[in-house]
Amino acid sequence: ALLEAVIAHFRPKRLAGCELLITAGPTFEPIDPVRGLTNRSSGKMGFALARAAAEAGARVTLVAGPVHLPTPAGVQRIDVQTAQDMLQAVLPRAQALGRQGVFIATAAVADWRPAALAPHKLKKDGKKVPPQLELSENEDILARVAALPAPPFCVGFAAESEQLEAHARDKLIRKKLPLVVGNLGPATFGRDDNSLLLVDAHHATPLPADGRSADKRLLACALIDEIARRRLDWLHTQA
């Protein structure tokens, strides 16, 4: 822990004075008091980014769904359960950040929630007729933040099981983002190493540059450096 602190101390402070908001983990959308819809997401990448950003000098707020991970040193953590909770935690804070801030959306937010929450545990009816589960669409947190009048530098994540670059670029354009980080999801969920694809308006760049996988901790530091650099370029293009 001491060695970690020393290493952290000597990392370049590329984000000194910058405010960062990060979402991480899955959301849990209750069906009844015991059941729910959720996503596979360990939250490890988001927590590693929060830590790397704090070490790079940023003031970091981490909005986390239900995960079993310790809060990184120096990071303010807000625990939420549903996508609606997460939106309520994120939106006013993102608004307060303004263009100088950074918003990184790593959370695997549920796209849909059960249309109604049953107040008591649903019972099998004995006739083998499963209930129909009516779904409602959740609001898109990242799109809402990116559409603010003075949005922070927004970074999306795309976890895909196929056609990574195409889906990442589609998300970039549809939500009007400067950067989307692609992640060949299911193969890497919960693992400690990973490899990413950085997709912007012009390029798709693998990280690590050789396209191989790297430890999530190292990858997080490299990605925070990339975000710090791209944020400065982006700020120059803004009014």
Which residues make up the interface to its own copies (CB under 8 A)? 28, 31-41, 68, 108, 110-112, 119-122, 124, 128, 130-137, 159-162, 185-186, 189
Report the residue number, 124 or 236, with the smaller CB distance to its own copies. Answer: 124
Catalytic annotation on 138?
A: no
Residue 206, phi then psi, degrees to nearest 5: -70, 150
Report, in Å, the least distance between residue 136 CB and its own copies: 6
Q: Which uninterrupted H or E stretch holds 235?
A: helix 216-237
Report, in Å, the least distance between residue 177 CB and its own copies: 16
Report the residue number, 98 or 131, with the smaller CB distance to its own copies. Answer: 131
DSSP codes joined into one string, 97-116: HGGGSEEEE--B--SEEESS
Tell me how long the chain is: 239
Say what the alpha-carbon torsion angle 160, 165, 170, 173 is, to the nearest 10 degrees: 130
Q: What is the CA radius of gyration of the chain?
A: 19
Which amino acid is it at 29? E
Report the residue number, 85 or 225, with the smaller CB distance to its own copies. Answer: 85
Report the residue number, 100 or 136, with the smaller CB distance to its own copies. Answer: 136
Residue 44 · residue 125 · CB < 8 Å? no
Report, in Å, the least distance between residue 164 CB and its own copies: 11
Report, in Å, the least distance between residue 122 CB and its own copies: 8
Residue 189 · residue 165 · CB < 8 Å? no
Annotated catalytic residues are 39
